[in-house]
Amino acid sequence: MNADKDLIIIGGGPGGMAAAQYGARANLKVLVIEEMAPGGQALNISDLENYPGISDPVSGFEFAQNMAKQAEAFGAEFLTASAEELKKENELFYVKTTAGTFTAPAVIMATGTRQKHLNIPGETEFSGRGVSYCATCDDPFFRDKKILVVGGGDSACDEVSFLSNLSDKVVIIHRKERFRAQKALAERVINNKNIEVRFNTVLKEITGDSRVKSVVLEDTVTGKIKKEKMDAVFVFIGSLPQTSLIPEIRKDNGGFVVTNQRMETEIPGLFAVGDLRATPFRQLIVAAGEGAVATHCASQHIDDIKGMRYI
């Protein structure tokens, strides 16, 4: 078989970079295709404090830089490009990118997720002008401002805690009567004096002129609707898997890719890891662990094709 690479990894988040490091260290020719800077959703983490072995919190950016450096030191190659098409012919995958087409007998999909939008009036109009989906990216603009955070999961609770360091006028609303987030994160929010928590509340509309000026909120218990002054709105209501390259594959109800415990999809040689995989717990450590498993199994798949598998 005449392939450009042994293993192509699409997506340079923690899952993809862990896979790359394991692959390169196992002497595979590894190519990581990532359209932005390596790191994926980890780049949004202000203080990474729950990764085993890192007792002093580091930023997601610093962590991602180190992961990339480590994978490159073992020989993994990173390409900044968008993957546009994935197809398999005989035993070979063809990955068409904005920087050319590459072939390999195994591909790991690590394209992660993108954030969900509320789809309410004003959200698109004020995006980048007071409406944001990333607290650490946009934080300098919102110091001492009145900030609304929407969401009840881990992301919302993490990000609202970060924003409470910038302003003591932070409000978080959640549509239910308690948070979905892990208990430790939820309690940290509830006990934070800079954060006002409002349950059973939904955001109906965002208004303003050149920037966000106010929001329209509804109390879902009383049905009461009120307009309130607000300088910024942060939306953290979950994420959607980025699976457009592999539409015809088994997914769960949320559209997340189903694999077996070897991270194999239904297509032999195609693996999926990290946030785009159907999993009960989306965490950096989970994605990294899945990357290691996928590469180990991808390497066995490559050996099978070459008739070299150790049995």
218 touching ligand NAP, by CB under 6 A:
no
Catalytic residue among 4, 47, 134, 219: 134
Residue number with the smallest Cβ distance to ligand NAP: 153
- The C-alpha angle 240, 242, 248, rounded to 5 degrees, equals 110
Distances (CA, A) of 152 to 67, 115, 202, 204: 30, 14, 11, 16
Token representation of residue 10: 């699409």
Applying CB under 6 A, which part among 25-33, 58-66, 147-155, 255-263 lies near ligand NAP?
147-155
| Residues 46-85 as x/- pattern, contact with ligand NAP by CB under 6 A | ----x-----------------------------------
| 3-state secondary structure string across 147-190 | EEEECCCHHHHHHHHHHCCCCCCEEEECCCCCCCCCHHHHHHHH
237 touching ligand NAP, by CB under 6 A:
yes
Considering only residues 282, 287, 288, 290, which one is a binding residue for ligand NAP as defined by CB under 6 A? Answer: 282
236 touching ligand NAP, by CB under 6 A:
yes
User: What dihedral angle (degrees, nearest 10) is formed by the CA atoms of 91, 97, 102, 107?
Assistant: -50
175 touching ligand NAP, by CB under 6 A:
yes
Q: What are phi and psi of 139, to 5 degrees?
A: -60, -35
Question: Least distance in Å: CB of 146 to ligand NAP?
Answer: 20
137 is catalytic: yes
CA distance 105 to 82: 20
Question: Least distance in Å: CB of 150 to ligand NAP?
Answer: 6
**Residues forming the active site:** 134, 137-138
